[in-house]
Amino acid sequence: MGSLLCFSLIAFLLVLHPCFAKKTYIVHVKHHQKPSSYSTHHDWYDAQLKSLSSSSSSSNSESLLYSYDTAYPGFAASLDSHEAELLRQSDDVVGVYEDTVYTLHTTRTPEFLGLDNQLGVWAGHTQQELNSAAQDVIIGVLDTGVWPESKSFSDVGMPDVPSRWRGECESGPDFDPKVHCNKKLIGARFFAKGYRMSSSSSFTNQPRQPESPRDQDGHGTHTASTAAGAPVGNASLLGYASGIARGMAPRARVATYKVCWPTGCFGSDILAGMDRAILDGVDVLSLSLGGGSGPYYRDTIAIGGFSAMEKGIVVSCSAGNSGPAKASLANTAPWIMTVGAGTIDRDFPAYAVLGNGKNIIGVSLYSGKGMGKKLVSLVYNTDSSSSLCLPGSLNPKDVRGKIVVCDRGTNARVEKGLVVKEAGGVGMILANTVESGEELVADSHLLPAVAVGRKLGNVIRQYVKSERNPTAVLSFGGTVVNVKPSPVVAAFSSRGPNTVTPQILKPDLIGPGVNILAAWSEAIGPTGLEKDTRRTKFNIMSGTSMSCPHISGLAALLKAAHPEWSPSAIKSALMTTAYNRDTTNSPLRDAEGDQLSTPWAHGAGHVDPHKALSPGLVYDIRPEEYIKFLCSLDYEMDHIQAIVKRPNVTCAKKFSDPGQINYPSFAVLFGKSRVVRYTRTLTNVGAAGSTYEVVIDAPPSVTVTVKPSKLVFKRVGERLRYTVTFVSKKGVSTMSKTTFGSISWNNAQNQVRSPVSYSWSQLFN
């Protein structure tokens, strides 16, 4: 017994010791130096790992987790730190990087975007023609998997699966491909080796999730159905937002790739999912996840996305939910569509009537028993943890039988409600602070709860502070539509500038991302909390996770209408036709501070599907131009090859400035020179004989000149160039605040608009 205990203790210490603890590493190999003696790269990688065994105490028989084919030049392996260091010393290895954990960026929208069934003609395409063409388009969704029983994945009326499809549905303990896949849901895979490695080396009490394509979280089902869900009548979240729920491209095919698990989305699994999706033959890749920003050669999604772009696949990614902080973007590579979030014209009003008679309007998705009309005591604790309603922060003696005011921030909004409920509170008012401003996000709370903006939140806080016996009662108003103004940029939506490449303006555009109804996993309640025993077929969620699949679905529609268009042409069409005025015909506003929005928040503007189908002109970018862009960043050649994955890449041709790439927007950075000059090329995808004239909107501190000022396209597909010169006027301080403008090419049918940002310092005031 004693020797067994001693052995167990030694084994435990070996796991804890950094020299022996196994971790997942992604290994960048000089892909094109594979010796001819190995028939495959997989065999070569396996041999490299086995060669470590002579100088390592551990077995390498199961070290190779993934061998990547197209998305990355290398492999993922389970290694200890000593083995990782030995690999770094190999002449065949460029770099060995510890696995990165990415996070998820968590039915009214078709009508809001003009995609209802009574659509009529779309730029020469009837809705029936577009739906028919979309049946050949396949959207790959990398997320938490899929709940296949959802009616959103019904294949009623769908023709046979496209013959070019090379994907499949994988089996699991709770997933039968013969039962759960069909002509709509044509692929369902899972990638868990990075997650499994992390789980086995950690000492958390969290149970391991069954390894299968099934969605136990809800997020993946929501995003997949937002992109391409089939129409489902009488959809609602417990009575809220009742109506027909359908995706942006309801006749497109769906393939899901489960790469996210309870502890996060591991880079090794994401790369494997992207690798497989490219080989399977998807047309659009949708990723509602991301991490921090860094060099593109260290960015898993950027590297996999480049391979996808080269194969003609549109890659759509969420911008992140770290707003309103500046420079908070994820997924900033120029070959990726970076999507921010805005509101739609639907709301869920709720009310808090204070004891002094003041009626406070907020939002809520609470669907349980109401509070009645009797006023109850209202309490607000100014202690930081108590004011935030963090777990364990509330004293039941102080809150039992009362409504509690909780500050928004730090922990999940729905968790605050649970904290109040478990402490004996009967209701909650969730009050915004400066960070979230006037942005209102409705939640399906476990107790009566109303969310209010910062200004009204301050009114309530002041009332509680000044009144001897403050009271309130909460009530709920259901669903209302045609809310104005809309859209408004969500405060949580991550903002520019782009810190990786300041000369590329990001985000690219915004789409609907607040209070979005879509399909849900019946393995979990609508709040996602363990103690939420409710089950629902649909849920309402907010985040750039929700706006991303809107754009993915619209990209699929454009792919169906224009199969010859490149990913950059599709991106250009979506960006240059985006609108910048809301439903009151005022400039787009920002929920943060209730102020005017800027392209750092909304990019080119809010997506307009109708106009995107017929943009007139597009800014096309060939893969070779992206290589010239990468060369302008002064990366080492090995790092460029990690992204490009070609043996003979050189930087003989490169841009002198990354901003020279043919991007549909401009980010002008005045550094040592007062003059910045860029040349762009426009391709005519409209009618032959089209003429466009330039319209410039510039701030007083900058002079903008465009030559020529008129473009005459004699034929379809013709490419014409123009040069734009930006001059910072004399006397403008390098500490000047960033300003914005636009350059548009207009005729009677089209306005091809590009936003422009002007900065005088990389400090980005």
H/E run at residue 427: strand 427-431
Q: Which of 37-46, 193-202, 485-494 has the lowest mean pLDDT?
A: 193-202
**So what's the pLDDT on residue 125?**
59
Q: Pairing mode, if any, of strands 121-122 and 125-126?
A: antiparallel
Taking 50 as the threshold, does the pLDDT of residue 297 lie above it?
yes
Q: Is 689 left (phi over 0), alpha (psi -120 to 50) or beta?
A: left
| Tens of pLDDT, residues 372-418 | 999 999 999 988 778 999 999 999 999 999 999 999 988 989 999 99
pLDDT, position 17? 45
Beta bridge pairs of residue 161: none
Query: Using 50, 70 and 90 to split pLDDT, how confident is the model at 439?
Result: confident
In the predicted structure, residue 10 carries a pLDDT above the cut 60 = no
Is the pLDDT score of 56 beyond 60? no
Instruction: Please state, for a pLDDT cut of 90, what percent of the chain lies above it.
Output: 78
In the predicted structure, residue 119 carries a pLDDT above the cut 50: no
pLDDT at 112: 53
What is the reported pLDDT for 234? 94
Which pLDDT score, from 0 to 100, does residue 386 have? Answer: 86
Out of 46, 80, 136, 143, the active site residue is: 143
pLDDT-based confidence at residue 435 (cuts at 50, 70, 90)? confident
Lowest-confidence region among 120-134, 394-408, 501-515: 120-134
Q: What is the reported pLDDT for 64?
A: 94
What integer pLDDT is reported at residue 203 of this predicted model? 43
Provide the pLDDT for residue 426. 97
Q: How confident is the model at residue 109, as a pLDDT?
A: 47
Q: Which of 109-123, 607-621, 628-642 has the lowest mean pLDDT?
A: 109-123
User: Which of the four pLDDT bands, split at 50, 70 and 90, describes residue 113?
Assistant: low
Question: What pLDDT is recorded for position 367?
Answer: 92
In this structure, the dihedral spanned by the alpha carbons of residues 562, 72, 621 and 679, taken in order and rounded to 10 degrees, is: 160
Q: How does pLDDT run across 181-199, given as a tens digit for each residue?
A: 999 999 999 999 999 988 7
- pLDDT for 8 equals 38
Quick one: pLDDT at residue 54?
53
Q: Is the pLDDT of residue 120 over 70?
A: no
How far, CA to CA in Å, does 632 sit from each of 108, 298, 635, 637?
44, 17, 8, 12
Which one is catalytic: 475, 545, 614, 665?
545
Overall pTM surpassing 0.85 (yes/no): yes
pLDDT above 70: residue 351: yes
pLDDT score for 20: 54
Sequence-distant (≥ 6) Cβ neighbours of residue 391 within 8 angstroms:
411, 415, 419
Q: Average pLDDT for residues 217-221, to the nearest whole number?
A: 96
Q: What is the mean pLDDT of the chain?
A: 90
Tell whether the model's pLDDT for residue 206 goes beyond 80: no
What's the average model confidence in pLDDT over 630-635? 94
Give the chain's length. 765
Mean pLDDT of 311-315: 98
* Amino acid sitting at position 284: V
Among 219, 222, 602, 639, the one annotated catalytic = 219
Residue ranges with strand state E in 198-332: 232-237, 240-245, 253-258, 260-261, 264-266, 284-287, 289-290, 314-318
From the list 562, 557, 578, 508, the residue with the least C-alpha distance to 751 is: 578
Answer positive or negative: Cα dihedral of 367, 369, 374, 375.
negative
Closest CA to 454 of 433, 429, 428: 433
Bridging pattern class, strands 595-596 and 589-590: antiparallel
Would you say residue 1 has pLDDT above 60? no
CA–CA distance, 632 with 227 (Å, rounded to integer): 35
Element (H, E) at 611: helix 609-613
- The alpha carbon of 352 is separated from its chain's Cα centroid by a whole number of angstroms, namely 34
Q: Where are the alpha helices (DSSP H) in 393-540?
A: 396-399, 413-422, 454-466
Q: Which amino acid is at 361?
A: I
pLDDT of residue 477: 94
Q: Assess whether 219 carries a catalytic annotation.
A: yes
Cβ 451 vs Cβ 362: under 8 Å: yes
Give the CA-trace dihedral at 487, 507, 106, 413, to 10 degrees: -60
